Amino acid sequence: MELTDAQIDEGLGRLQDWERDDSAPVIRRTVRLPGFTQAIALVDDIAQAAEQADHHPAIDIRFNKVHLALSTHSEGALTEKDLSLAARIDELVPGHER
Protein backbone atom coordinates (compact mmCIF):
# COMPACT_ATOMS: atom_id res chain seq x y z
CA MET A 1 0.00 0.00 0.00
CA GLU A 2 1.31 3.45 -0.94
CA LEU A 3 2.78 5.43 1.93
CA THR A 4 1.75 9.00 2.66
CA ASP A 5 4.32 11.79 2.68
CA ALA A 6 4.16 11.82 6.48
CA GLN A 7 4.77 8.07 6.66
CA ILE A 8 7.72 8.34 4.29
CA ASP A 9 9.25 11.20 6.28
CA GLU A 10 8.78 9.30 9.54
CA GLY A 11 10.31 6.18 8.01
CA LEU A 12 13.30 8.08 6.64
CA GLY A 13 13.87 9.44 10.14
CA ARG A 14 14.54 5.87 11.31
CA LEU A 15 16.99 5.13 8.48
CA GLN A 16 20.64 6.04 7.93
CA ASP A 17 21.55 8.31 5.01
CA TRP A 18 18.52 7.50 2.86
CA GLU A 19 17.00 10.38 0.91
CA ARG A 20 13.77 10.77 -0.95
CA ASP A 21 14.01 11.51 -4.66
CA ASP A 22 11.70 14.44 -5.41
CA SER A 23 11.42 13.49 -9.08
CA ALA A 24 10.23 9.89 -8.57
CA PRO A 25 8.76 7.62 -5.90
CA VAL A 26 12.22 6.40 -4.86
CA ILE A 27 14.49 6.47 -1.83
CA ARG A 28 18.25 6.47 -2.40
CA ARG A 29 21.43 5.86 -0.47
CA THR A 30 25.10 5.78 -1.46
CA VAL A 31 27.49 3.74 0.65
CA ARG A 32 31.24 4.38 0.43
CA LEU A 33 33.38 1.41 1.44
CA PRO A 34 37.15 0.89 1.84
CA GLY A 35 37.50 -0.87 -1.50
CA PHE A 36 35.96 -2.79 -4.36
CA THR A 37 35.90 -6.18 -2.66
CA GLN A 38 33.99 -4.75 0.32
CA ALA A 39 31.51 -3.15 -2.09
CA ILE A 40 30.94 -6.46 -3.88
CA ALA A 41 30.56 -8.31 -0.56
CA LEU A 42 27.94 -5.78 0.59
CA VAL A 43 26.04 -6.14 -2.69
CA ASP A 44 26.09 -9.93 -2.28
CA ASP A 45 24.57 -9.60 1.20
CA ILE A 46 21.99 -7.09 -0.06
CA ALA A 47 21.07 -9.51 -2.86
CA GLN A 48 20.43 -12.27 -0.33
CA ALA A 49 18.30 -9.97 1.85
CA ALA A 50 16.39 -8.74 -1.20
CA GLU A 51 15.65 -12.30 -2.31
CA GLN A 52 14.33 -13.15 1.17
CA ALA A 53 12.13 -10.04 1.10
CA ASP A 54 11.10 -10.61 -2.54
CA HIS A 55 11.89 -6.95 -3.12
CA HIS A 56 14.84 -5.92 -5.24
CA PRO A 57 16.73 -2.61 -5.25
CA ALA A 58 18.41 -0.94 -8.17
CA ILE A 59 22.15 -1.24 -7.47
CA ASP A 60 25.03 0.54 -9.17
CA ILE A 61 28.61 -0.25 -8.11
CA ARG A 62 31.39 2.22 -8.85
CA PHE A 63 34.66 0.91 -7.37
CA ASN A 64 34.09 1.52 -3.64
CA LYS A 65 30.68 3.21 -3.88
CA VAL A 66 27.38 1.36 -3.91
CA HIS A 67 24.41 3.43 -5.09
CA LEU A 68 21.04 2.02 -4.03
CA ALA A 69 17.51 2.95 -5.05
CA LEU A 70 14.30 1.46 -3.69
CA SER A 71 10.77 1.74 -5.01
CA THR A 72 7.80 -0.59 -5.23
CA HIS A 73 7.31 -0.65 -8.98
CA SER A 74 4.12 -2.72 -8.85
CA GLU A 75 2.53 0.08 -6.78
CA GLY A 76 4.23 2.94 -8.59
CA ALA A 77 4.98 4.33 -5.14
CA LEU A 78 6.97 3.95 -1.97
CA THR A 79 5.63 1.28 0.36
CA GLU A 80 6.56 -0.35 3.65
CA LYS A 81 8.52 -2.92 1.61
CA ASP A 82 10.95 -0.15 0.64
CA LEU A 83 11.42 1.09 4.19
CA SER A 84 11.82 -2.46 5.51
CA LEU A 85 14.49 -3.39 2.97
CA ALA A 86 16.27 -0.07 3.56
CA ALA A 87 16.36 -0.84 7.29
CA ARG A 88 17.80 -4.30 6.58
CA ILE A 89 20.45 -2.74 4.31
CA ASP A 90 21.32 -0.32 7.12
CA GLU A 91 21.97 -3.35 9.34
CA LEU A 92 24.27 -4.92 6.74
CA VAL A 93 26.46 -1.90 5.96
CA PRO A 94 28.54 -1.72 9.19
CA GLY A 95 29.85 -5.27 8.68
CA HIS A 96 31.51 -4.18 5.42
CA GLU A 97 33.01 -0.83 6.39
CA ARG A 98 36.26 -2.27 7.67
pLDDT one-digit tens code per residue, 37-96 = 999 999 999 999 999 999 999 999 999 999 999 999 999 999 999 999 999 999 999 999
Task: Kindly report the pTM of this predicted structure.
Answer: 0.95
Q: Phi/psi at 13 (nearest 5 deg)?
A: -65, -20
Q: What are the residues whose beta carbons fall under 8 Å from the beta carbon of 88, sequence distance 6 or more?
A: 49, 53
